[in-house]
Structures are given as structure tokens and as C-alpha cells.
A and B are shown apart, each in its own frame.
Chain A
Amino acid sequence: MHVTRRQGLMGLAAIAAAPAGFITPAQAQSRAETMRQVTGGAVNTLDPTMPGSTREAFGISMNVYDRLVAFGRKQVDGNWLFDHTQIRGELAERYEISPDGLKITLHLRPGALWHDGTPVTAEDVKWSLDRAVSAKSLAVSQFQTGSLTSTEQFRIAGAGVIEVLLEKPDRLALSNLAVPYAIMINSKLAKQHATAEDPWAQKWLQANTAASGAYKVESFRPGVQVVLTRNEEWKNGPLPFFKRVISQTVPEAATRANLIEKGDADLSIDLQASDIATLQSRGQVKVASIPQSNGFTHISFNTRMAPFDNVKVRQAIAAALPYEDMFKASLFSRGRTLYGADWTTPPNADFPQPLPLKQDLAKARALLAEAGLANGFSTSFSFGTSTASTSEPLAALVQEALGKVGIRIEIQKLPDAQLNTMQAEKKLAFYTDSGTAWLPATYYFFYLYFTRDQRWNFANWENPRIVELSNAARFERDGAAYETQCKEMISILADQLPLLMLWQPNMDAVMGKAIEGFTYQFYRQVDFRDLKRA
């Protein structure tokens, strides 16, 4: 007989008598082996390379598809954190890099199988890599950052051996094979669904999978939920603990918090900062708070728009802001701050690292006067609706603080699509947003966020020396020289202030007390393979 887990509302008398339902041992067992994650966002595709795929879609694809290689993890302050400096094999058993850095040889794991039971071949891998650089998808531009641009760079060198050839020794070529876009696809299956106008089976792969990963998709309802079941044949890593995973979209953050606290859901990584402290103090849940080490929240100036084209104005604003209050009101101090450092030359080449930003109203007024704007000016300050809970208090404080030095701010809360459009068209004067780099190498941050005419150049910044340094650092083989180049870029940034780095918000993973092994991943989603229930 099928018995519901909870009785629920069935008339007041019945409820008063029996508040909870009864559970059979078999159901309790299957519940214990099921992981239920609740998320604010939704999975919209099973192919992470599809334009518009959400972060939640990346997360699912990491569990369903294998990549050739994967990042390792390390423990910091009792929490697990991804480690991009350690690259281990996944679908490839091992790899070698030639001494000149121009050839990466990958050896596929013998006996690896696709979900349909057929063996993984070098042809499949070649097809998957070709697809990443050929099909119209998000993978193309990502792979460019690893100097992977053409199908000729991927070569089958014997049974189960693949070679990746490079023109220059790009330091991120191998790392790019570990990102969410670098999925390995069962090419025989995918080709059956390819058509003349869709040779890479992109339509079919949005709603279907041709994968080899640790989990199989049991059901997928876009925008509602995804259910995964464990792939018992998976040999490309230790078999995960959870037999079943449910990732469900629950838009209300307060409801997500309630679900975890009541024990009905096991894990949520996107609760509101304001709820975390309360949840922690009530003691029903476990919280892993890990600063998002590859991300940053910033306030950007449009450096090609008056008056922000004047470096003195940017420095004046940097000196006028109440960083500590902003951090407290916006994030309830949950994160790692990137302001308030005390150096004149950067102590190391890490990035993002705290920059010397401090509130000093007298300095701010002096700088404004030097810029010829002693009486201040008027401008707008924008942020996106989806970040309102953290950006709204921030904006109110920015408005108030700048009012003290005569700068009048009109706050604009924009729907995200509009914010993104204006960002891409460089029409925003002054705004707050955040960025995350999948591959947190210092040069990569600068290349991605501070060069070129593209959307992610938040401050619309053009600095010839930064362009030169970031390009040189990319192919620099000498460790010391690389470090010098990175430090110089950081110094220029701290002096020119195209944007103000504020902080790295915590990823606060809130979970049932028995859940263990949560790891902060560079794509800011949950790798279910790491988790277990104690």
C-alpha cells in the first residue's frame, strides 16, 4: 500500500490527534539515500553550453556529464574548497604535458562506459571537443581563453589516447577542459539526433543527455525540478553516497530556510544572509560558510563617461564610502572584505585581494575640488532586481555617504535583463554588480574583467599597460616573472580604481546536521558526488 509521508491538513481534529504521518522502514531508508536540494534559480537545460543556461544547469551537468579532467579540493578552516592548482583525471585516467607546454596527451580510463552501456572511445572525445569549438554555443568563447579554437588542435593518437595541440603554452588550456562547458558526449547517440541544420544535436541535448557521469537524469521539468539517480556503473571516481538527488526550485528564500530547518530538505546554498545567523543560533541545521574565493562584489564607474573618466573623481568616491557599514547592512558581515588593506605595493600576486580602500571624507572633498567638482554633481546608481536584498541597503548608504560630499545620487533598480543590456552597451554610469571567474588565475581576472570591449569589462576600462601585462602573463612560463606582472596589474588597479572591489560574499551552505562533505566549487553549485549522510 502506498502511504503518504505526512498526513497534512485533514480537518482540525484529525490533525490534533496525529501531527505526523507514519513511515515504513523501506521509505526511511530510501529517504536517507536521497538528497533534496532546494534552489532559488532553476535548471533550464541539460546542455550547459546552451546560450542562457543557468548556474543551476551548470551544477546539474557537472554531476551528469564527465569532463576529461577535474579540479581537486583542499580543506581551509574546516571547509572544503575547490583547488584549481591540482588537476586530476576524470574521464581521462591520466595526462601528460610536453616540456614546451605545447602538447597535452590524455589517456582515457579503460572500461569507461556511457550511460547506455557502450564504451567511451577517443572518437567520442574528439567529437565532443570539436563540438565545443565549433557549435554556436557558450563554449566557444570560454575555450578561447585556453587558446583552444580549432578542431585541428584535437587529435586521436591511438585507442583511448587524445592529444591537444597548442600554438603557445597557454597556462589555462588544461584548466579549460575541467569547466562545466567541457562536457564529454556519447557521440554515437548524439549523432542519431543530429540534423542537417543542427549537426551538433544541440536541440536534442537540451532536454536529453548522452553522458557518462556519476548520475543519470531520471526526470527533468524545466523551471520546476530535476531528479537524478546514481549511475551504478560509474568508474571515473569513487561511487557517490546518495542514490537519488532531487534538485527543486523554490523561489521564496524564506520557504527554503523553513524547509531545511524542518528537515524536509537537506541542502540549500542560496538563502538570505539575514536568515543564516538565525538558523545557526536555533541549532537545527549545519552551516558551512565559505567566502566565494573566485568572486567579487564591486561598485563600477564607467571610465569613459564624464565625470568618471577623471581618476580623481573615482578616487574621491572611493574615499567617501562607509565600507564597514555597507558590509554590515548588505551582507550582515558574512563574507571576506576586499577593502581596508594597508599596502603601497601588493604583498602577493593573489587576486582578488584586499585593496587599500578607506573612508576619509576630507580626502574625498579635496580630491573632488582638485577635479574641479567642489560643488559635487548628480548621477545615477544602478543595480539589478535579483540582487535587491543586498544591493538596496548598499545603495541607500552610497546615496547618503556621497550626499555628504555633494554628490547627488538617483537610485535605479533595474530588471536584470535591462541591467545586463545597459552593461553590455556601456550605458551605465555608476552601478554595483558582481563577477565570478571560473578559473581564478590573477591574469585571467584581469583579462576577463579589465580588458577588451566586451560585456564583462564592467568599468569599460582601457589601460594599455594592463592589456600588455595580461597578455604577457597568459603565456609566461617563468613563475617569478608571472608574479611580478600580476603585482604590477594589481598596483595599477589600486591606483586607477576603475571599480571598487568590495567583498567576496560567503557561500553559506545550509544543510541537515547529518550531511557531510560539502565543497565550494568554482561554478558555485553543489557537486553531489562529494556529499554523504552520516
Chain B
Amino acid sequence: MLAAAGRRVGGRLLAAIPAVFGVVVLTFLVMRVLPGDPAVYFAGGPSAGQAEIDALRAEMGLDRPVPVQLMYYLRDVATGDLGRSLTTGQPVMTDIRQRLPASLELTFTALLLALVAAIPLGILAALRPGSAVDHVVRFLCTMGVCMPTFVTGLLLIYVFYYLLGWSPDPTGRIDIFASTPPEITGFLLLDFALTGDWDGWRAAFTQLILPAATMALFVLAPLARMTRASMLAVLGGDFIRTARAMGLPGWRIIVVYALRNALLPVLTIAGIVFSTMLGANVLVEKVFSWPGVASYALDALQASDYAPVQGFVLLMASIFVVVNLVIDLLYGLADPRAVAE
């Protein structure tokens, strides 16, 4: 059983290699098509001339033909070297290691928040399809999707920070004057919990709420919609009818029998939503000065700084593969039939 699962994981990872390879090459080429020249941008001192630009270009290897650059880049990537960022002056690997936990923590929290809201709403809608409740739920969830995230974010800041003063200042992961916990996992909530610093935990948590809510609002609709659809399908099933006929209490049927069976498709959507959010939270990270990977990639993209953008896309592609794999394995655990191919 375990060996089979291991083989399965290995097989899936191997199968994903061509796609990831494609992503690396495609990103590399897209970056080279960008009309900005990083050497010109970065040799931008008040008195820098052509000599500096040429020197920097040579140092970055940009004076070589593109295919040669690509070969060097692939060799570096294979050895775990993602290059150096000109925007931060650090190796891309270091930058990503510092910033990825921030993005992951935000995305996980947002997804959790969205699921906590979307599943009950979806169930509510599914119990009375076509009713006023169903329509109200649908309307509310859709409202969340139809505002650009940056507007939602700016509005939340304006109301909850500026006008009401309920929220701490919307800049980054932790109160700037508070001390950070010793870095154990990089996830602030975990690190604070591990060190038992509950005041710190609460401070970090309050910083998280607004950006997470901004993101959660945006993904509420697909999750609620999928919960509703999948609950509807399950509730129409024979075993529910049997359970009802046996006189089991209504809530028990819904929670224990129906929901358990309806959750799998929701999980799939949640996985897809997670990968999309991680790549698409550029706007939220910008608005909330969140030190994550997406805003890192954006700054680099605007400066035509190749290495960080390439590193970021590679990272996102890898996470995409892993998330799909995890969902797949969860499927296998929940429903052994799904494993048989």
C-alpha cells in the first residue's frame, strides 16, 4: 500500500518535469523579449555612462547569445542556483526563502477564511435550491468577486484602519515596533505559538486579518458554488434517501453523510484556488506592503530584473505540481476507487 503510494508520487513528479521545464524555458524567453535592458536600468547612477552599462551587461552574461544564456541558466537551475537579484542585491534563493512563508501564511489563512464562510453558505443554498436563501447566498458571494482586489483592500484599510482605528497599521506582517519571534518555520503564527508568545501571536494575527479577508472575499464564490453543486448532487443520492427513511436526524445526515461525500470536489477547487491565489496575490501584497514573493516578482518585472521573475515563476509552477499531487493523494485516501487508473 505504502510502496504503491510512493511509486504513484514518484510517477506523478516525473510526469510533471516536462511541464516545469517548459515553464522555465518559456519564462526565460519572455523575459528576454521584454524591451527593458536591466543593465541600463541598474547602471542608473546620476553620472553612469555607456562604459558602466557594458560592464554590467558583461557581468550579468547578457553579452552572450540568448541560447548560450539559456544553457547557462538551465545548468544553474539544475544545481539549485536561481541567480542573483539586482533589485535586492541578494541571491534569488535567499530572497524566496525569506519571503515565501509570508505569502504562504497569507494564502493559507485566506483560504481557510474563505472555506469557513463558503461551506456553510453553500450548504445553506443547497438545502433549499431555488429559494430566496439560495439567491441571497449567490448574490452575496458574487458581490465579493466583482470588486478588483486592490479596491477591496484599499477600502478595508480606509474603513478599518483610517476611519475606525480597529485594525493595526496595514504594513507588513507584524507591528513594526514589536519584536519578531526567533525564526523556526518562518510562519509567524506558528513561530509565536511554538515560543508561547501569545501577545505576539495576536499581533501577527491582527495584521493578517485585513489582507486575508481581501483575498478570501475574492474566492468565496467558486468555493460556495462548488459546495452547493456537490451537496445538491449528494443530497439527491440513494444513500441519503435511505438515511432519511431510517429516521436519522436532519443535521446528522447533512453533516456526517452528505458533507463528507460532498467535500471531495470542494477540495479539488480549493487546491486550484490555492495555486491561483498564490500567484495572483500581487495586488494584495502591494496594497498591504506584505513582504511576499508576488510583490517581489512584480518589482523585479518592472525593473526587467530577470532572475527573480524566473525564480518566482519556477517556484509557482513547482507549487502547482505539488498541490495537485496532494489533492490527488487526498482523493486516494478518501476514496480508494479513485486511485485505480
Task: Give Cα A422–Cα B202 distance, bound, in whole angstroms.
Answer: 49
Task: Give Cα A254–Cα B88 distance, bound, in whole angstroms.
Answer: 24
Given A221-B291, A259-B171, A454–B40 Cβ distance below 8 Å? no
Whether, in the assembled complex, B35 has its beta carbon less than 8 Å from a beta carbon of chain A, the answer is yes
- Identify the closest chain B residue to A14 (Cβ): B166
Which residues 248-303 in A have Cβ within 8 Å of B in the complex?
A: 248-252, 254-255, 258-259, 261-262, 264-265
Taking CB atoms, residues of chain B closer than 8 Å to A161 are: none
- Identify the closest chain B residue to A138 (Cβ): B45
Whether, in the assembled complex, B44 has its beta carbon less than 8 Å from a beta carbon of chain A, the answer is yes
Whether, in the assembled complex, A340 has its beta carbon less than 8 Å from a beta carbon of chain B, the answer is no
Partner of B162, one of A5, A258, A455: A258
Segment among A60-68, A103-111, A222-230, A510-518 that sits at the interface with chain B: A222-230
Pairwise interchain contact B41-A417, C-beta atoms closer than 8 A: yes
Task: Give Cα A220–Cα B41 distance, bound, in whole angstroms.
Answer: 23
Task: Give Cα A155–Cα B296 distance, bound, in whole angstroms.
Answer: 44
Q: Shortest CB–CB separation between residue A294 and chain B, in angstroms?
A: 10
Pairwise interchain contact A141-B175, C-beta atoms closer than 8 A: no
Taking CB atoms, residues of chain A closer than 8 Å to B48 are: 51, 138, 141, 455
Pairwise interchain contact B157-A255, C-beta atoms closer than 8 A: yes
Q: Shortest CB–CB separation between residue B113 and chain A, in angstroms?
A: 13
Whether, in the assembled complex, A52 has its beta carbon less than 8 Å from a beta carbon of chain B, the answer is yes
Given A45-B89, A255-B157, A8–B46 Cβ distance below 8 Å? no
Which residues 403-427 in A have Cβ within 8 Å of B in the complex?
A: 414-418, 420-422, 424
- Identify the closest chain B residue to A136 (Cβ): B55
Taking CB atoms, residues of chain B closer than 8 Å to A422 are: 35
Whether, in the assembled complex, A207 has its beta carbon less than 8 Å from a beta carbon of chain B, the answer is yes
Segment among B69-77, B176-184, B328-336 that sits at the interface with chain A: B176-184
Interface bracket on B: 35 or more
Whether, in the assembled complex, A26 has its beta carbon less than 8 Å from a beta carbon of chain B, the answer is no
Task: Give Cα A138–Cα B43 distance, bound, in whole angstroms.
Answer: 7
Taking CB atoms, residues of chain B closer than 8 Å to A415 are: 34, 36, 302, 304
Segment among A31-39, A322-330, A500-508 that sits at the interface with chain B: A31-39
Taking CB atoms, residues of chain B closer than 8 Å to A151 are: none
Task: Give Cα A138–Cα B36 distance, bound, in whole angstroms.
Answer: 20
Pairwise interchain contact A454-B50, C-beta atoms closer than 8 A: yes
- Identify the closest chain A residue to B299 (Cβ): A223
- Identify the closest chain B residue to A4 (Cβ): B203
Taking CB atoms, residues of chain B closer than 8 Å to A416 are: 36, 41, 302-303
Whether, in the assembled complex, A199 has its beta carbon less than 8 Å from a beta carbon of chain B, the answer is no
Taking CB atoms, residues of chain A closer than 8 Å to B179 are: 2
Pairwise interchain contact A141-B202, C-beta atoms closer than 8 A: no
Taking CB atoms, residues of chain B closer than 8 Å to A493 are: none
Of B161, B169, B197, B202, chain A has the most CB atoms within 10 Å of the CB of B169
Whether, in the assembled complex, B152 has its beta carbon less than 8 Å from a beta carbon of chain A, the answer is no
Taking CB atoms, residues of chain A closer than 8 Å to B42 are: 51-52
Pairwise interchain contact A456-B206, C-beta atoms closer than 8 A: no
Which residues 43-75 in A have Cβ within 8 Å of B in the complex?
A: 44-45, 50-53
Whether, in the assembled complex, B122 has its beta carbon less than 8 Å from a beta carbon of chain A, the answer is no
Whether, in the assembled complex, A102 has its beta carbon less than 8 Å from a beta carbon of chain B, the answer is no
- Identify the closest chain B residue to A144 (Cβ): B47
Whether, in the assembled complex, B14 has its beta carbon less than 8 Å from a beta carbon of chain A, the answer is no
Q: Convert A467-508 into 0s and 1s, putting 1 for each residue whose CB lies closer than 8 angstroms to a CB of B.
A: 000000000000000000000000000000000000000000
Task: Give Cα A371–Cα B168 distance, bound, in whole angstroms.
Answer: 62
Whether, in the assembled complex, A149 has its beta carbon less than 8 Å from a beta carbon of chain B, the answer is no
Whether, in the assembled complex, B172 has its beta carbon less than 8 Å from a beta carbon of chain A, the answer is yes
Whether, in the assembled complex, B52 has its beta carbon less than 8 Å from a beta carbon of chain A, the answer is yes
Of B47, B177, B295, B296, chain A has the most CB atoms within 10 Å of the CB of B47
Whether, in the assembled complex, B276 has its beta carbon less than 8 Å from a beta carbon of chain A, the answer is no
Taking CB atoms, residues of chain B closer than 8 Å to A386 are: 302
Of B44, B45, B48, B209, chain A has the most CB atoms within 10 Å of the CB of B45
- Identify the closest chain B residue to A249 (Cβ): B289
Taking CB atoms, residues of chain A closer than 8 Å to B165 are: 19-20, 262
Pairwise interchain contact A385-B55, C-beta atoms closer than 8 A: no
Given A5-B175, A418-B35, A141–B209 Cβ distance below 8 Å? no
Q: Shortest CB–CB separation between residue B52 and chain A, in angstroms?
A: 6
Q: Shortest CB–CB separation between residue B158 and chain A, in angstroms?
A: 8
Whether, in the assembled complex, A442 has its beta carbon less than 8 Å from a beta carbon of chain B, the answer is no
- Identify the closest chain B residue to A523 (Cβ): B46
Taking CB atoms, residues of chain B closer than 8 Å to A254 are: 154, 157
Taking CB atoms, residues of chain B closer than 8 Å to A448 are: 46-47
Whether, in the assembled complex, A6 has its beta carbon less than 8 Å from a beta carbon of chain B, the answer is yes
Which residues 1-41 in B have Cβ within 8 Å of A in the complex?
A: 34-38, 40-41
Pairwise interchain contact A2-B86, C-beta atoms closer than 8 A: no
Pairwise interchain contact B36-A417, C-beta atoms closer than 8 A: yes
Q: Shortest CB–CB separation between residue B38 and chain A, in angstroms?
A: 7
Q: Convert A83-112 into 0s and 1s, putting 1 for each residue whose CB lies closer than 8 angstroms to a CB of B.
A: 000000000000000000000000000000
Pairwise interchain contact A141-B289, C-beta atoms closer than 8 A: no
Taking CB atoms, residues of chain B closer than 8 Å to A258 are: 157-158, 161-162, 169
Whether, in the assembled complex, A196 has its beta carbon less than 8 Å from a beta carbon of chain B, the answer is no
**Known contacts A144-B47, A261-B162, then 14 further A-B pairs from the complex at CB < 8 Å, ordered by chain A residue:** A7-B206, A42-B88, A44-B88, A51-B86, A52-B87, A53-B45, A141-B49, A223-B95, A248-B172, A415-B34, A417-B38, A421-B37, A421-B40, A453-B50
Show 12 A/B contacts (Cβ-Cβ < 8 Å), sorted by A. Answer: A8-B202, A19-B165, A51-B86, A250-B289, A259-B171, A262-B162, A262-B165, A264-B169, A414-B35, A420-B37, A421-B41, A455-B49
Q: A residues within 8 Å of B by Cβ?
A: 1-10, 15, 19-20, 27, 31, 34, 36, 38, 42, 44-45, 50-53, 136, 138, 140-142, 144-145, 181, 206-207, 221-225, 246, 248-252, 254-255, 258-259, 261-262, 264-265, 385-386, 414-418, 420-422, 424, 436-438, 448, 452-456
